[in-house]
Amino acid sequence: MNRSPTDPSTARPRRPRWRSLALLALLLAPLLWPLQLFVERYYSHELLEQNRQTLDLYTANLLGTLRRFEVMPPLLGDLPLLRAALLNPQDAQGIDQANRLLGEIRQQTGADVIYLMNPEGLALVASNWDQADSFVGRNFAFRPYYREAMQGRLARFFGLGTTSGKRGYYFASAVRDGERILGALVVKVDLDYAETLWGKTPEQLMVTDANGVVILTSRPEWRFRASRPLDIAERAAIVDTQPYPEQAPTPLRLRPGAWLTLDRQLPETGWTVSILAPRELVDRQVRTAMAIGGGALLVLILLLGLMMLRRRHYLERIALDARARHQLEQRVLERTRDLEALNSRLKEEVLEREQAQQELVRAQDELLQAGKLSVLGTMSASISHELNQPLGAIRSYADNAGVLLDHGRVDDVRENLTLIRELTGRMASIITHLRAFARRDRHAPESVALQPALDDALALLAKRRRAMDVELIRDLPEATLWVQAGETRLRQVLGNLLANALDALGEKAQPRRLWLSAERTADGIELTLRDNGPGFGPEALARAREPFFTTKTSAQGLGLGLAICDSLMRALGGELVLANHPQGGALITLRMRAAIPGVTPQSPEDSPP
């Protein structure tokens, strides 16, 4: 029979137009440009933010080093032995005593050199008097710090030592006898150590002085190079004061665009601290992102091509079905057999899937059982850890009761038994609380008086504190502070923190001190616990909140105390902050929400059984 050209059985599907895909690729390619800008801006910001934090730390360290020595010249200038050396420079014994005194002070303070100059700029006394590069007998009147000191001002100066050849920062102050200036005392600080603080990183450190000359750097080849052109006045001042090994510093030529620079001005020294990060660090990330973006674009185009190819195959299949429709009657039996075979295979696949589903259910049941066992282990370890303190107190009261019975003090024995009963009730409350905490139960907050809870925790540890001879320093307000908490949970946190403080003080010789202070802030109540023990190590400070992490032996603790305290504080809407005090020892701050004064009903978790 004849078929029309439009008959679907004879019409052939159109071929996919790959030229359309190429045109689509050209249209989508410009999208990579904003991607490049975004990635470059993002990684540049991240790198500069990281370098800003590093720059803050370095400048704080550098300024701290300089400020430590800034007060020394005025203080040392008042020493009678140094003033006598200026008044009587012919006294050899006095000069020798002054040399030895400055040598001892140098060893104690860590200064590079300390020396004393007469009004003519001649060094009479120096801490390095017994060394080959001694300053004694050398004239430093050409140095600007000498002239400023003789004018009665505290002088500062950076320069390369003409005698030692070492870089240093000089502090100078006048030595007076009444209103008369006898000379100048100079303290030189070694700055070579400041460069060693910078590790081996792609970022480079550069410190330039007021002349723009590099004085500290992590790249030795940049040292004493001029970061900018020097004017005539600056060149004349360099020739006059000789702060560098060369009177005309070589320019520092950095490739434009090769570095991302972050600067920090130090007004008190006139220095500029800079961190230069190679732009290659950003470019590498940009290239990676562009490669990923280009790959994603290519994959998208390939997927579109595959979809077009599948569509073509689908149309071809429809055409084949249309042409083969007249053969269906002859192939009915064959197709029926094929369908029966296919049905059989589908039944087998369904059976296999049901078996796999049953295996999955069994695996889930086993996983749930393992999770329950894990929770049970954690609760057991927590209970054993939390009951150690009340058990220790019960043991102490029981021992005391035996002694009191021997002395016939029945009333005191009855009081001890009453305390033991209260402690057993508290142990039951702790167990109830731990069970509720393991279930992540939420209880309504209540108003709890902070000072009584703290007194109860201190009472549990009073005997141990007195046995260790720990001095307790309290700075608590007379007015009662009310916080939102569970009474048992709060006592549990306080008891754990105080016990940990006593454990830390056990590693320290006398004197042992424990400070407690509390105050009301705009955000709530802050309770601070501080001791003068060894404090937190770097690893302990980072991992103290992890369960089972401890620096003690297995007999001393399980490593759950701080982890439980942190979880309890977060459950109460508070915060546990761990740090080291600047004067040594651990500093722990509890931040809690303030509550309305009063008494609320006892929560279920805190009620005795």
Reported as a single tens digit per residue, the pLDDT across 585-606 is 889 999 999 988 875 434 433 4
SS3 475: strand
- Distance CA(456)–CA(51), nearest Å, equals 48
Chain centre distance of CA 26? 47
User: Residues near 415 by Cβ (< 8 Å), separated by ≥ 6?
Assistant: none
Q: Domain residues for 573?
A: 443-606
Last residue of a domain, one of 252, 280, 308: 280
Residue 5 has pLDDT above 50, yes or no: no
Q: Which of 253, 280, 307 is the endpoint of a domain?
A: 280
Query: Each residue of 423-470: pLDDT tens digit?
Result: 887 777 666 545 544 444 445 568 889 888 888 888 778 878 888 898
Tally of helices (H runs) and strands (E runs) in the chain = 17, 16
Q: To which H or E segment does residue 470 belong?
A: strand 470-475
How many angstroms from the chain centroid is the CA of residue 358? 49
- pLDDT tens sequence across 312-361: 788 888 888 888 877 777 788 887 888 888 888 888 889 888 888 888 66
Residue 519 lies inside a defined structural domain of this protein? yes
- Mean of all residue pLDDT scores within the chain: 80
DSSP letter for 131, please.
S
**How much is the pLDDT for 555?**
43
Within a domain: 202: yes
CB 592 within 8 A of CB 453: no
**490 belongs to a structural domain:** yes
Residue environment code for 204-216, b if the CB has 16+ CB neighbours within 10 A, otherwise e: bbbbbbebbbbbb
Q: pLDDT at position 431, please?
A: 66
pLDDT digits (tens, 9 = 90+) for 477-518: 988 899 988 777 788 788 888 888 888 888 888 889 999 999
Per-residue pLDDT, 368: 38
Domain for residue 585, yes or no? Answer: yes
Contact 72, 109 (CB under 8 A): yes
CATH code for position 251 = 3.30.450.20
Whole-model pTM: value is 0.44
SS3 helix, strand, coil % of the chain, rounded to 5?
A: 50, 20, 30
Residue 100 lies in a domain: no
Q: Is residue 163 included in any domain, yes or no?
A: no
Q: Please tell me the total count of domains within the chain.
A: 2
Rounded to an integer, the average pLDDT of 393-398 is 84
Of 147-151, 176-180, 268-272, 602-606, the one with minimum mean pLDDT is 602-606
CATH number for position 479: 3.30.565.10
Q: Are 591 and 566 in contact (CB under 8 A)?
A: no
**Is residue 479 a part of any domain in this protein?**
yes
Report the pLDDT value the prediction gives residue 4, as an integer from 0 to 100: 47
Query: Lowest-pLDDT range, 128-137, 165-174, 374-383, 462-471?
Result: 374-383
Contact predicate 82/182, CB 8 Å: no
Whether the pLDDT of residue 19 is over 80: the answer is no
- The more confidently predicted of residues 60 and 165 is 60
Type of residue at 73: P
Report yes or no on 500 lying in a domain: yes
364's enclosing H/E stretch is helix 332-386
DSSP string, 6-20: T-TTTPPPPPP-HHH
What local confidence, expressed as pLDDT, does residue 552 receive? 62
Q: What is the pLDDT of residue 199?
A: 65
Average pLDDT in the 19-43 region? 72
pLDDT band (50, 70, 90) for residue 21: low
Neighbouring C-beta atoms of residue 546, cutoff 10 Å: 13
Residue that terminates a domain, selected from 234, 258, 280: 280
